[in-house]
Amino acid sequence: MAEDAHSDESTAVAPAHGSEHSVASVDVGLAVVPAPEDAFQDPGLPPHHLRVTDTNPRRQRRAQRTVFSLFYLSIAGSIFAVAAYMAFPIEDGSFTAIRINNLFIGLGIALALLGLGFGAVHWAKALMGDHELTDPRHPVRGSEETRARSIEIFQQANEESGFGRRTLIRNTLIGALIAFPLPAVAMLRGLAPQNQDPVALLKETMWDKGVRLVRDPLGTPIKASDVTLGSVFHVIPDGLNKLPHDEMLNAKAKAIVLLVRMDPSELHETPERKSWSYDGIVAYSKVCTHVGCPVALYEQQTHHLLCPCHQSQFDISNGAAVIFGPAARPLPQLPIAVDDEGYLVAQSDFTEPVGPSFWERDKA
Amino acid sequence: MTSTENETGRRPARGARRKGKRHPLATVALLFIGLLITGGAYAAINATSSATAEVDMNSPQTIEQGQKLFVANCATCHNMNAEGVPGVAPSLIGVGAASVDFQVGTGRMPMSFQGPQALQKPPQFTDEQIKQMAAYIASLAPGPAIPSEDLVNGEGDVAMGGELFRVNCAMCHNVAGAGGALTEGKFAPDLSGVSGSHIFEAMLTGPQNMPVFNDTNITPEHKKDIIAYLKFIDSQTSVGGYALASLGPVAEGLFIWIFGAGVIIAITVWITARSN
Amino acid sequence: MSTATTTDAPRTTSFSGPSTFTGRAANYIDERTSISAVVREFGRKIFPDHWSFLLGEVALYSFIVILISGTFLTFFFQASMAEVQYNGAYVPLKGMNMSVALQSTLDISYEVRGGLLMRQIHHWAALLFIAAMGLHMLRIFFTGAFRKPRELNWVVGFTLFILGMAEGFTGYSLPDDLLSGNGLRIIDGMIEGIPIVGTWLSFLLFGGEFPGSDIVGRLYSLHIMILPAMVILFIAIHLVFVVVHMHTQYPGPGKTNRNVVGYPILPVYAAKAGGFFFVVFGVIALIATFFQINPIWNYGPYDPSPVSAGTQPDWYIGFADGMLRLIPSHLETVWFGYTFTWYIIIPVAILGLFIVLVAVYPFIESWVTGDKREHHVLDRPRNAPTRTAIGVAGVVFYAVMWAAASSDLIATHFMLTIEGVIITLQVLLVIGPIIGYWVTKRVCLALQRKDRSLALHGYESGRIVRLPGGEYIEVHKPLDEYERWRLVSYESYAPLMLRPDRSGRITFANRLRVGMSRWFFEDRIAPVTRAELEAGHGDHGAHGAPGELEGGHDGDHGLPPAAH
């Protein structure tokens, strides 16, 4: 038949042999086993069954009544929704009023829509003709005549324009078409600021020598004696809250710190970092080194710090080493000390970039 | 004459009591009345004992009572002098009345089995008994005290409480206080329905793995604000309808797949089914 | 005298024109639009009827609901990250600094009558849209509707699925609340982990450092203009394809590869499909009336410091978030001073490969079968056991990743440890699809055998008869020809055989193709033929005893001796 008139050119693979069915010609598709001669034949459409609404006029009238009742309900729903909009104000700000308003407008709208929908479907199912009809399908490919005419059209256009012949015209056209979007692409560079280096920015935070540790979000400084065993403070650098808004959140995204105190005997520190803590008080970056969520679920007895986003776990008693989850690096530690008034201060910025890893992270 | 007929030979009218015989439902009625009386008495007695029992935390009788309760119920794990048993139960020296009020008042103590953490369950003691035990523990060494009524009545600044809650508490307890997972089978519980004093005490004492939010970390005023925030979200109607346990996108996704798609597929089956 | 158009062909001035209003209106429009050609072509076009064909409609209609509700929202939402102090009805946020985006969203919810309803309709419809596309895609896959000529339409549809996910993600990130803000933080972290270009891409996307003050505005352009335009374009292409290819139909009596059996658009489909639009809209409205979704007021404004327990993306992004959670620890190396973040590269590569495989599956299958015919009759899933098993394996793979996104909630609700949940899911990610594949394949083959047995022996009627010889048998009611046709009308493929090509060589590609063809089709059950049915009809009553089956019928397979 017309639709499968493709001959397959490769003879490298062939249908399975050894079957008692004859191997059909390759134009049927290579892996298909053609139907055996004694296969069943299509019996045609099954007989049509009448519906109860076709045979019983009373049921038909009932179905009609159902349909227009549903449409009436739909109208009622729409009107109700409009009425509810007007009748249930929310301007006093009470949550109950807002709930009632949305509830009744929503009920009205839902009734209007469902009434319409169920009515139309019931009309179709119960009352409209339900004889199955048949239409022929035509192959998707155009007829031979159409295809021939298309080819002819292209050939004519080619001749008249010389597109195929005039290769220099053609090639330079293609070149121009490829080139013309390039300025647009280049202008997308403007999405990022022109005079900032992202790598340099990622490698520094607001922390610096002498910057006080203050409470997040209130901004009050923290004395070492305020921090009891087992407590956790959420910390930002002093001065962060005074930054203009755009800068504040950007700085905060790198500068958030978690401050905990544990018994010094439980704290395992490398010799180089012994001076980074103060009497069992340690400070670590709160930006998860996985993909950057605030890692803040501190368990005071186990000293585990859990990130809620992807469940990375860090051991705060052991340099915030990764003990579970997809993170790869320990949290950077903020070296802290106490100033002469007893307030906790940073000794310097973090000694490594905070937050998720990036390509240039370890490059000087 | 049958037994159900009276002298006139007719059966008594429906509902009329048969002479001399108890109504068949009399037994039932008597049982019911008996239950009402005993139940009511029990409730009344208990009510009086837990109502406004003003317990004097400093009186020697209270402390002595508390010690008795402690020895009977807590010493098996916490040791006779409350110094704790390593690997079994921590020392209670210095934990203060607040710890006892919280742990025993929420039913976490006595702990029912060793596990990742103590689970909340119905309290095993009356309020008066809890106060007595608290007084005893407080007498052993200074520690956090049970907060006064005005700090836990929920009349603080809801907005400040919300901001503090989100920074300090939401990462474990969820922004709506619906609770969350911790490591190794532990979890931060759902905060709905928790009393103001228990919230305060939990912050103050840092039960088990919950960090300690001492008064120099979160001031008592701010704790009051946090309590006000929690009470607010507890009591307010969800403006959008059923909150699906405030669990967020997971609950919403489950709902749309199970109920949304389920209902719609049921409707598609109806639409394309052959009409009767 | 005629005042009509002055064409060359003489107008029939005796034509009096239509007399009814409808007639006159139709005439007016047709004279200006040729609409009668459309009515003629499409008015009685036949569409087959099956509930599973309505899944695509659910997706289309929920998209329309999204457009309608979204348009309403655009009148009130402001996509600016400028800082403002909130002073609206939601008391716990009073006096807080937040972006205008969040404030306008709060105002929609608390100050605009019906605004919250519209927000909820919009968000619930979005969840349903993508779910419906997923279900529709599964239906297309399991019935083989992606075969020629519909391979391109599969790719278009799959692109729509991806676009839908992008629409959803950009949409829920617009209010700049804590939950979606942390989602953006995660995206930023993932982008930074991309080798070579990561830091710069992150910078470009956010207009500088994270979070910056540009992202909401940019996502807004994407969400209301660029992505919807693409979605609408692809939907149009998708539907044009459906019209050009005509809809597929399930196998059944009277339904062949060369016809379409069903109901006409006017009036039946217009009513059913049109009605269904209102039903879908109504169901979404009902859900939005009673169930709260995305209560951004609980989360508050995005700030890098707080985070909520149970931070998950919307369900359709879950598989990506879950994949991130399943990666083991410490997967990062530094070579030559450059950081290779494997914990990003690996999940992105796996997900990318998965997506590409799904997108090109029709081409893989057509290469394996070599079948170049048009297919308009669908496969019952059991009749394509390997394809169905592959589909189930893919679904299991997706489902494990999706489940991993809620690992912490699974832990709290079933009193498990999060470590246990994650480790279990890591294992299931690998063995789950394998088990799913194997079980499904066996089930499909078993169902095919069951079909064969039904076709040959009929239904168990429940009537027990005692034969003269004393044995009891259950009488089987034979199928009528219509029921039987449905069971026997499928095609069975056989594996290809390896042969050298014209130059006498066997290339690797051919070896691979034959190998895959064998994997697909070696285990197969051929449909019952008339001869087999006759052969089994020796004595009517004696078909209940299983023992008698084996002798009369060539093992249960009806296979030709297999080629090796």
Which chain C residue lies closest to A20 (C-alpha atoms)? C560
* Nearest CB to A298 within list B211, B240, B276: B211
Given a cut of 90, whether residue B229 has pLDDT beyond it is yes
Q: Which of B173, B249, B261 faces C135 most closely, judged by CB atoms? A: B261
Among chain A residues, the shortest Cα distance to C191 is held by A358
B126 touches C: beta carbon within 8 Å: no
**Cβ separation of B183 and A306 shorter than 8 Å?**
yes
Residues B274, A231: C-beta atoms closer than 8 Å: no
Distances from the Cα of C73 to the Cα of C79, C107, C119, C217, angstroms? 11, 11, 7, 15
* CB-defined contacts A:B, below 8 A: 91
Query: Same structural domain for residues A250 and A310?
Result: yes
Element (H, E) at C216: helix C215-221
pLDDT of the residue at C551: 34
Mean pLDDT of the A273-280 span: 93
Are A105 and A64 within one domain?
Answer: yes
The predicted structure's pLDDT at residue A22: 34
Point out the residues of chain C with pLDDT beneath 70. Answer: 1-16, 537-564
**d(Cα C279, Cα B266) in Å, to the nearest integer?**
12
Strand partners, A136: C259
Tens-place pLDDT, residues A23-50: 333 333 466 677 777 778 888 888 888 8
Contacts of C408 in chain B (CB under 8 A): 180-181
Residue of C259, C251, C178, C187 whose CA lies nearest to C219: C187
Closest-CA residue to A358 (of C24, B47, C512, C341): C341
* ipTM of this complex prediction, to 2 decimal places: 0.89
Number of compact structural domains in chain C:
1
**Within a domain: A282:** yes
The answer to whether C474 and C464 have CB atoms below 8 angstroms apart is yes
Q: Are A13 and A67 members of one domain?
A: no
A91 and A205 fall within a common domain:
no
Query: Residue B23 — pLDDT band, cuts 50, 70, 90?
Result: confident
Residue C20 belongs to what domain range? 1-42
Q: Name the domain boundary from A64, A92, A127.
A: A127
| Tokens, residue C556 | 């249960």
Mark yes or no for CB contact C58/B264 under 8 Å: yes
* Per-residue pLDDT reduced to its tens digit, C388-412: 999 999 999 999 999 999 999 999 9
- Contact list in B for residue A313 (CB cut-off 8 A) is 183
What CATH number is attached to the domain comprising A302?
2.102.10.10
Residues of A in contact with C201 (CB under 8 A): none
**C116/B240 Cβ within 8 A:** yes
Residues A71 and A6 placed together within one structural domain of the fold: no
Q: Are residues A212 and A339 in the same domain?
A: yes
CB of C517 closer than 8 Å to CB of C369: yes
- On whether both A13 and A61 belong to a single domain, the answer is no
The amino acid present at A195, given as its one-letter code, is: N
Domain membership flag for residue C90 = no
Q: Which residues of C touch B238 (CB under 8 A)?
A: 292, 295
Q: Are C292 and B255 in contact (CB < 8 Å)?
A: no
Cα–Cα distance, B74 to B67 (Å, whole number)? 10
Interhelix angle C115-142/B261-272, nearest 10 degrees: 60
Q: H helices within C87-206, ranges in order? A: 100-110, 115-142, 151-172, 178-192, 198-206
> Domain count of chain A?
3
Q: Assess whether the previous peptide bond of C267 is cis (omega < 30° from 0).
A: yes
- According to DSSP, the residues that pair with B180 across neighbouring strands are B188
Residues written for chain C: 564
* C-alpha distance from B252 to closest chain A C-alpha (Å): 18
Poorest-pLDDT segment among A235-244, B35-44, B184-193? B35-44
Interface of B with C in 195-254 (CB under 8 A): 229, 232-233, 238-244, 246-250, 252-254
Residue C331 lies in a domain: no
Q: DSSP label at C284? A: H
A254 within some domain: yes
> What is the three-class DSSP state of C186?
helix
Q: Per the domain annotation, does A196 fall within a domain?
A: no
Q: Which residue from C96, C91, C74 is spatially nearest to C174, judged by alpha carbons?
A: C74
In the block, tokens 């992505």 appear at C227
More confident residue, A142 or A178: A178
Give the C-alpha distances (Å, rounded to integers) separating C385 from A30, B2, B254, C388, C523: 19, 78, 29, 5, 9
| Best residue of C287, C292, C307, C528 to probe chain A, by most A CBs closer than 10 Å | C307
pLDDT in tens, A337-355: 999 999 999 999 999 999 9
CB-based contact (8 Å) between B115 and chain C?
no
Q: What six digits make up the tokens of C454?
A: 């039904």
Taking contacts as CB-CB distances below 8 angstroms, the residues of chain B near A228 are: 212, 214, 216-217
Spatial distance between the Cα atoms of C343 and C292, rounded to a whole number of angstroms: 35
> What count of residues does chain A have?
364
> Of the candidates A127, A145, A171, which is a domain's last residue?
A127
DSSP string, A253-295: HHH-EEEEE--GGG----GGGGGGSBTTEEEEE-B-TTT--B-
Q: Which residues of C430-464 are buried (b: 16+ CB within 10 A; e: fewer)?
A: eebbeebbeebbebbbebbeebbbbbbbbeeeeee
Peptide bond into A217 cis (omega under 30): yes
Handedness of CA A228, A231, A237, A238 (dihedral sign): negative
- State how far the Cα of C183 lies from the Cα of A290, in Å rounded to an integer: 13
For residue A98, give the chain B residue with the closest CA. B239
Does pLDDT of B19 surpass 60? no
DSSP A11: -
Compute the nearest-CA separation of B88 from chain A (Å): 14
Least CA distance to A127: which residue of chain B?
Answer: B275
Tens-digit pLDDT profile for residues B251-265: 999 999 999 999 999
Among the partner residues C289, C308, C409, nearest to B175 by beta-carbon distance: C308
Answer whether A230 sits within 8 Å of B211, measured CB to CB. yes
A80 and A30 both lie in a single domain: no
Cis geometry, peptide bond prior to residue C527 (ω within 30 degrees of 0): no
C117 contacts in A (CB within 8 Å)? Answer: 102, 105-106, 109
Is B236's Cβ below 8 Å from some Cβ in A?
Answer: yes
Please check whether residue A313 touches B, CB under 8 A. Answer: yes
The DSSP secondary structure of A61-87, one letter per residue, reads: HHHHHHHHHHHHHHHHHHHHHHHHHHH
Give the domain range for residue A75: 52-127
Residues of C in contact with A107 (CB under 8 A): 289
Contacts of C164 in chain B (CB under 8 A): none
Residues C25-31: contacts with CB within 8 Å, 24+ apart?
A: C31/C5
Flag whether residue A45 sits within 8 Å of chain B, measured between CB atoms: no
Asked if residue A158 is part of any domain, the answer here is: no
A32 DSSP assignment: B
pTM of the model: 0.89
Q: How far is B93 from chain A (nearest CA, A)?
A: 15
Contacts of C371 (CB under 8 A, 6+ apart): A29, A30, A31, A32, C147, C148, C493
**What's the length of chain B?**
276
Q: Is residue C24 part of a domain?
A: yes
Residue B47 confidence (pLDDT): 54
What six digits make up the tokens of C404?
């991993």
Confidence of residue B20 (pLDDT cuts 50, 70, 90): low
pLDDT reported for residue C315: 97
Q: Are residues A93 and A224 in the same domain?
A: no
Contact C91 B241 (CB under 8 A): no
Measured between CA atoms, the residue of chain B closest to residue C123 is B252
Average pLDDT over residues B141-151: 91
**How would you classify the pairing of strands C459-466 and B180-181?**
unpaired
Any domain includes A5: yes
Domain assignment of residue A257, yes or no? yes
Average pLDDT over residues B88-99: 91
Contact (CB<8Å) A300/B213: no
Q: Is C63 exposed, middle or buried (0-12, 13-18, 19+ CB in 10 A)?
A: buried
Q: Do A198 and C502 touch (CB under 8 A)?
A: no
Ordered DSSP codes for B102-118: HHHHTT--S-SS-SSSP
Residue C27 is assigned to a structural domain of this protein: yes
Find the DSSP H helices in chain B.
26-50, 60-73, 75-78, 96-105, 127-140, 149-152, 158-168, 170-173, 196-205, 220-235, 249-255, 261-272
Q: Do B206 and A300 touch (CB under 8 A)?
A: yes
Place of tokens 């299983």: C546
Q: Is B213 exposed, middle or buried (0-12, 13-18, 19+ CB in 10 A)?
A: buried
Give chain B positions within 8 Å (CB) of A233: 217
Q: Do B252 and C314 touch (CB under 8 A)?
A: yes
Report the distance separating Cα A66 and Cα C95, nearest Å.
54
Residue A46, in any domain of the structure: no
- Chain C residue whose CA is closest to A123: C271
In angstroms, rounded to a whole number, what is the distance separating the alpha carbons of residues C363 and C149?
11
* Backbone phi, psi, residue C340, to 5°: -105, 105
Arithmetic mean of pLDDT, B132-155: 91
Helices A95-122 + C270-290 axis angle, to 10: 160
**Are B217 and A227 within 8 A, CB to CB?**
yes
A15-19, A144-148, C200-204, C244-248 — which is least confidently predicted? Answer: A15-19
**DSSP states of A215-236 as a string?**
ETTT--B-BGGG--TTBEEEEE
Q: Do C263 and A132 touch (CB under 8 A)?
A: yes
Produce one character per residue of C213-241: b if its CB has 16 or more CB atoms within 10 Å, e if not.
Answer: bbbbbbbbebbbeebbebbeebbebbeeb
Number of CB pairs, chain B paired with chain C, less than 8 A apart: 193
Neighbours of chain C (3+ CB pairs under 8 A): A, B
Closest to C178 measured CA to CA, from C93, C94, C114: C93
CB pair distance less than 8 Å for C185 and A293: yes
| Partner-chain contact A301 B217, CB within 8 Å | no
